[in-house]
A and B are shown apart, each in its own frame.
Chain A
Amino acid sequence: MAATKRVKKRKAKQLNRSVAGNTVLFVIMAFCAVFMALPLVMIVNNSLKPLDEILRYPPKILVENPSLDNFSDLFVLMKTSWVPFSRFILNTFIITGLGTTGHVILASAAAYALAKLEFPGKNVLFQMVVLSLMFSAAVTAIPNYMIVSWLGINDTYAAVILPALASSLGLYLMKQFIEQIPDSLIESCRLDGAGEFRIFWTLIMPNVKPAWLTLAIFQFQALWGNTGSTFIRSEQLKPLQYALGQIVQGGVSRAGAGAAVQFIIAAIPILFFIISQSNIIETMTTSGMKD
């Protein structure tokens, strides 16, 4: 079965493909890939450049004498910070940890209700979520600030975590993914006497692992980039991203450590994506809008 399928695939691949067309498209692609990759290549190389190479004229993209000095400089700088760096790391850990876990659980529970259960108001709720994909956070930024103040959670982790829990992209993707779980599977669970919570937790959740990994990665990316500066004022509650940002702004004397910071900020989300790429792609196959 598998073998015939593969043969079929290869045959299908060659349909309607000309050598000239392949060449043109792949050349365009290679050119664009270089354009896309170059800035990232620069980030990697800059982080490995000794200070004299960073400040050289004319600038060179590739490093000549790679060293890890920038990272050890960064490490020394971290030690001199008056709020210990371990504290910033802990803050980021708490914010991304709670924000990501909470989002996956809340969004999945709501997604299960929207995808598989019948209740009045269901379509309106889903339409609102779809509508909210159509505008960006800038629209709600000012009222959000006031609401956070009214709730009295200004300058706490909650000010960053709570709004993130209800991000709409996660709910949308999860709902589309849960929809393809066969109803018969859920029905047989129900006949066995399982309540909706049991079904959600023991049947749905284990079956949508690619989707919750996707939600987790997207959420992590959003929270990782958050400096928390709008809501968190206390230095000791700020996330790593903020502390690292301070180092980048340190000017020429900190250019080396700054380059190391740039590398770390970019590398971590990319690393997470590499690990979970196949799961994310699987989730996105169900992301389509069916009117």
Chain B
Amino acid sequence: METVAVKKKPLSRRLKKGAPAYALAAPYFILFFTFTVLPVAASIVLSFTDFNMMEMPDFVGWKNYMRLLLNDDIFMIAVKNTFVFAVITGPLSYMMCLLFAWIINEFKGKLRALLTLVFYAPSISGNAFLVWSLILSGDRYGYLNGMLIKLGFLYEPVVWMKEEKYVLFFLIIVQLWLSLGTGFLTFIAGLQTVDRTLYEAGAIDGVKNRWQELWYITIPSMRPQLMFGAVMQITQSFAVADISIQLAGNPSVNYAGATVVTHLMDFGSQRYEMGYASAIATILFLTMIGTNRLVQKILRKVGG
């Protein structure tokens, strides 16, 4: 009601009245524009140019995009890998976040805090994922090889991260291990906010088991958190690069671990083809935003 009234005042009055608000918001937003908005705009503009950081950018129209889509076989592998990656780790990590948060919610006190910590810790422990290179190490000293040889499943150690057929699989495992982050915490918190009397009312109305309870009561009650969590998990699942570079190398064997972001980094920080790299960045940007928007739309309809 109040906002309607405010909007009827002339713009100059509202601008003047907003002065303290602008002053409060300005320091943050100046930096936000400089380091987030401007770079996105720059990426889009540069994607239509040839630019090597030394000379002025040359406008080339859709050339970079044509080359990406028609002439860059590695980009196609990277897109395929990223897609497989996102389609598997995105939904799976999202379900894991919800499932584990939901089970943890059955516990109380210290045990609950401990379980939260166990699942959340990998995502915050810096480059702790490097320990996976010990597990997946290609010689006999690797934990996985050592174990499988001891159990008689293997005679020779397998160089896991140098065999095309295993690379993506293990990267997915490591990514899932790392993926119970902000979204997971949001669900832990969201589950606490569900009104308990709803469960009692639900039981009277014929909710018979925990799955019905989850679907008809819990999920609809925490939809705002579910939507926020989805944004966190989706963005993360498209951005995979670090673990691929560290565990599989860049370039990885036959590009089995190449993702859109590793491809972007290859052109951006190795070959200095900034226009081309910007086109990759722009495609990535549009894909991430598009997927997020789509999933938000779907989530609004989910659950009773």
Q: A residues engaging B (CB < 8 A)?
A: 8-9, 11-13, 15-18, 21-22, 25-26, 28-29, 32-33, 35-37, 39-40, 42-43, 46, 55, 57-59, 61, 106-107, 109-110, 112-114, 117-120, 122, 125, 128-129, 131-144, 146-147, 151, 162-163, 165-166, 168-169, 171, 195-197, 200, 218, 221, 224-225, 241, 245, 248, 262, 265-267, 269-270, 273-274, 277-278, 280-285, 287-291
Contact A196 B103 (CB under 8 A): no
Contact A114 B288 (CB under 8 A): no
User: Distance (Å) between the CB of A179 and the closest chain B CB?
Assistant: 12
A267 to B121, CA, bound (A): 9
12 contacts between A and B (CB under 8 A): A36-B177, A39-B131, A40-B128, A118-B6, A133-B231, A135-B285, A138-B239, A138-B284, A141-B281, A169-B182, A284-B182, A285-B225
Interface residues of B in 1-58 (CB under 8 A from A): 2-3, 6, 11, 14-15, 17-18, 20-25, 27-29, 31-32, 34-40, 42-43, 46, 53
> Known contacts A43-B128, A270-B125: does B274 contact A142 (CB below 8 Å)?
yes
5 shortest interchain CB distances as A-B pairs: A288-B224, A119-B18, A136-B239, A284-B189, A143-B39
Contact A61 B143 (CB under 8 A): yes
Contact A15 B199 (CB under 8 A): yes
From A118, A142, A278, B43 is in contact (CB under 8 Å) with A142
Q: What is the size category of the interface that chain B forms with chain A?
A: 35 or more
A142 to B268, CA, bound (A): 7
Contact B35 A266 (CB under 8 A): no
Contact B213 A16 (CB under 8 A): yes
From A106, A118, A278, B28 is in contact (CB under 8 Å) with A106
Contact B190 A25 (CB under 8 A): no
Chain A residues whose CB sits within 8 angstroms of the CB of B135 once the complex forms: 39, 42
Chain B residues whose CB sits within 8 angstroms of the CB of A281 once the complex forms: 116, 185, 188-189, 192
Contact B36 A120 (CB under 8 A): no
Instruction: Count CB-based A-B contacts (< 8 Å).
Output: 314
From B28, B100, B210, B289, A110 is in contact (CB under 8 Å) with B28
Contact B25 A248 (CB under 8 A): no
The answer to the question of B81 belonging to the interface, with a C-beta cut-off of 8 Å to chain A, is: no
Identify which of B65-73, B200-208, B248-256 touches chain A: B200-208
From B103, B143, B196, B200, A59 is in contact (CB under 8 Å) with B143
The answer to the question of B146 belonging to the interface, with a C-beta cut-off of 8 Å to chain A, is: yes
A155 to B116, CA, bound (A): 39
A218 to B36, CA, bound (A): 18
Contact A37 B118 (CB under 8 A): yes
Chain A residues whose CB sits within 8 angstroms of the CB of B209 once the complex forms: 16, 18, 21
Q: B residues engaging A (CB < 8 A)?
A: 2-3, 6, 11, 14-15, 17-18, 20-25, 27-29, 31-32, 34-40, 42-43, 46, 53, 96, 100, 103-104, 106, 113, 115-122, 124-132, 134-135, 140-143, 146-147, 149-150, 177, 180, 182, 185-186, 188-190, 192-193, 196, 199-200, 203, 207-210, 212-213, 222-228, 231-232, 234-236, 238-239, 241, 261, 264-265, 268-269, 274, 277-278, 281, 284-285, 288-289, 292-293, 296, 300
Chain A residues whose CB sits within 8 angstroms of the CB of B120 once the complex forms: 273
Chain B residues whose CB sits within 8 angstroms of the CB of A37 once the complex forms: 118, 121
Chain A residues whose CB sits within 8 angstroms of the CB of B228 once the complex forms: 287-289
User: Distance (Å) between the CB of A88 and the closest chain B CB?
Assistant: 15
From B29, B227, B232, B277, A125 is in contact (CB under 8 Å) with B29
> Known contacts A15-B200, A32-B100, A288-B223: does B24 contact A166 (CB below 8 Å)?
no
User: Distance (Å) between the CB of B65 and the closest chain A CB?
Assistant: 16
From A40, A139, A166, A197, B32 is in contact (CB under 8 Å) with A166
> Known contacts A119-B21, A139-B281, A140-B36: does B227 contact A280 (CB below 8 Å)?
no
Contact B103 A163 (CB under 8 A): no
Contact A225 B126 (CB under 8 A): yes
For the complex with contacts A17-B210, A140-B35, A163-B35, 5 further pairs of A-B residues with Cβ separation under 8 Å are A117-B24, A118-B3, A132-B36, A136-B261, A282-B189
Contact B42 A146 (CB under 8 A): yes
Chain A residues whose CB sits within 8 angstroms of the CB of B285 once the complex forms: 135, 139
Chain B residues whose CB sits within 8 angstroms of the CB of A221 once the complex forms: 124
Contact B199 A196 (CB under 8 A): no
Contact B118 A284 (CB under 8 A): no
Chain B residues whose CB sits within 8 angstroms of the CB of A128 once the complex forms: 32, 37
Contact A26 B14 (CB under 8 A): no
A168 to B203, CA, bound (A): 41
Chain A residues whose CB sits within 8 angstroms of the CB of B225 once the complex forms: 284-285, 287-288
A160 to B130, CA, bound (A): 24
> Known contacts A35-B177, A139-B284, A143-B42: does B124 contact A269 (CB below 8 Å)?
yes
User: Distance (Å) between the CB of A68 and the closest chain B CB?
Assistant: 20
A120 to B234, CA, bound (A): 31
Chain A residues whose CB sits within 8 angstroms of the CB of B192 once the complex forms: 281, 285
